[in-house]
Structure 1
Amino acid sequence: MSAHILVAEDDERQAQVLRMYLRSEGYEATVVHDGRAAIDAARRLRPDLLVLDVMMPKADGLDVCRILRRESDLPVLMLTARSGEDDLLLGLDLGADDYMTKPYSPRELMARIRTLLRRAKGSTRQPEGGVLRVGPISVDPLHHEVVGPSGRQVTCTPGELTVLTTLAAEPGRVFTRRQLLDRTGGWDSSASERTIDMYMMHLRRKLEPDPRRPEYLITVYGVGYKLTPGRGTGEGGIEAR
């Protein structure tokens, strides 16, 4: 069954070009032209991925992302004509899984979509039959559940869950940003490595007692990131249900 892509783009000509490319790739495509319609369509149709323009009438893409992220883990790829880094990072901070700046290559956009779909699919498949435990943190990729040191379940986006699962599968191993992108179905774009930093920032906010002094999600300067069991705990592993 082909994936269903929802496109929210107020430029009707550009939206039709996107629809054409998506259908040529074998995807089912639905197009809307304002933010309110995007929210309604996402709730009603439950697409596999949302391609979301930032500048739209009725509700802009940032508001749409903020609202939908509270309700679901729908993968979101944002399109923006804004080139400022603060604007791009704001979109990621609200829960978008990736972004592209306009003008963009439709072929690269299709590659990004394939990556996000693989990532979302993979985040619920590994490891089957077990929960990853690293110290007080548990990760259940099959059921998309994460429990932090406080004992409370936290909500993660598909990208955050995939990164956390990769780290939890090999506690103590240091992964570079590029390796994490590759493990999550990464793409060849130097800017995209910043998304790993954003995922780590979000995960620390959700899991660390003090995100400014992380005990579990550790930065190895000049190399990358690793997940450790924290002070005075075991090494963790996979626990069968």
Structure 2
Amino acid sequence: MTQVLVVDDEPQLARLLVINLKARNYDVDCAQDGGTALDAVAAHRPDVVLLDLGLPDMDGIEVIKRLRVWSQVPVLVVSARHGSEEKIRALDAGADDYITKPFSMDELLARLGAVTRRTLSDGSTNADEAVVETEEFTVDLVARKARRRGKNIRLTPTEWHVLEVLIRNRGRLVSQRRLLQEVWGSSYGTQTNYLRVYMAHLRRKLEADPSHPRHLITAPGMGYRFDA
């Protein structure tokens, strides 16, 4: 049974989440502040954390940063903060996904299910495998080879770098700023047009339908994700 830790200081929302998750066979624990949440992750090793950012003792982003020092437990942020900057800060700190309040329970369950499926199927939250295979293409990061429908695909060094960052973080949303800085350097963080161009190139070379990609996914205003 998948174990979920709900971290929220709003009793009504926490209770609603507990009822809905338990009804779908999740094992659920709750924490009302950041300190309790960190202790609960250490003690009980949940499979995923649903984290509000507005906690009474510390900001939720600080909770993510502290967790990432010693844990790779998936973190799905559930917050009333709608600004792009807040979302990017959470993703840069190590959050796996971000959903804003108010939200539909169906959307939350879909995102939660996606995170837990990735974790359980990998047996780990780390994506260290060098070879990725999809129905459409295969990528070998060590050999730096890509094949689509049995044919070799030539990628430029920059295209390789963008793809490598996304694959190393497969299933997790990588913020635009982080992707820019990892590929082009620390002085880059706002040149999002670079990413649009290179993602278009990669989709054209790898995706079956570049206008409706299945693997190189855009989260508008936030970043990009690779789904195998």
Would you call these one fold, judging by a TM-score over 0.5?
A: yes
Letter in 2 for 1:25: R
Q: Structure 2 unaligned segments of length 5 or more: list them.
A: 131-137, 148-152, 189-194, 207-228
CA distances 1:145-164 after superposition (whole Å, capped 9, x unpaired): 479xxxxxxxxxxxxxxxxx
Hey, what's the Cα distance between the residues in 1 that align with 2:70 and 2:139? 26
- Identify the residue that residue 192 of structure 2 maps to in structure 1: none
Hey, what's the Cα distance between the residues in 2 that align with 1:46 and 1:89? 26
Q: CA deviation at 1:119?
A: 1.4
Aligned to 2:200, the other structure's residue is in SS state coil
- Identify the residue that residue 5 of structure 1 maps to in structure 2: 4
Hey, what's the Cα distance between the residues in 1 that align with 2:176 and 2:74? 15
- Identify the residue that residue 114 of structure 2 maps to in structure 1: 115
Q: Is the 8 A contact 2:88 2:175 kept in 1?
A: no
Aligned pairs (5 A) from 1:7-156: 7-124=6-123, 145=128
Relative contact order higher in (CA < 8 Å, ≥ 6 apart): 1
Q: Is the 8 A contact 2:92 2:178 kept in 1?
A: no
Letter in 1 for 2:75: V
Q: Is the 8 A contact 2:48 2:75 kept in 1?
A: yes
1:221 to 1:7, Cα distance in 2 relative to 1, 3 A:
closer
Hey, what's the Cα distance between the residues in 2 that align with 1:99 and 1:15? 17
1:145 to 1:12, Cα distance in 2 relative to 1, 3 A:
same
Letter in 1 for 2:120: K
Aligned to 1:104, the other structure's residue is in SS state coil
Hey, what's the Cα distance between the residues in 1 that align with 2:50 and 2:97? 10
Q: Is the 8 A contact 1:118 1:185 kept in 2?
A: no
- Identify the residue that residue 146 of structure 2 maps to in structure 1: 171
CA RMSD between the two structures: 3.8
Hey, what's the Cα distance between the residues in 2 that align with 1:38 and 1:110? 21
Hey, what's the Cα distance between the residues in 1 that align with 2:18 and 2:122? 27
Q: Structure 1 unaligned segments of length 5 or more: list them.
A: 126-140, 148-165, 187-194, 228-241
Hey, what's the Cα distance between the residues in 1 that align with 2:40 and 2:88? 25
CA distances 1:88-137 after superposition (whole Å, capped 9, x unpaired): 11100000000001101112111111000111223348xxxxxxxxxxxx
1:21 to 1:122, Cα distance in 2 relative to 1, 3 A:
same
2:215 equivalent to 1:220: no
Q: CA deviation at 1:167?
A: 4.9
Hey, what's the Cα distance between the residues in 2 that align with 1:102 and 1:79? 7
Q: CA deviation at 1:18?
A: 0.2
Q: CA deviation at 1:198?
A: 4.6
Q: CA deviation at 1:63?
A: 0.7
Identity %: 31
Q: Is the 8 A contact 2:76 2:95 kept in 1?
A: yes
Could you list the structure 1 runs, at least 4 aligned residues long, displaced by more than 6 angstroms after superposition: none
1:82 to 1:197, Cα distance in 2 relative to 1, 3 A:
closer
1:185 to 1:62, Cα distance in 2 relative to 1, 3 A:
closer
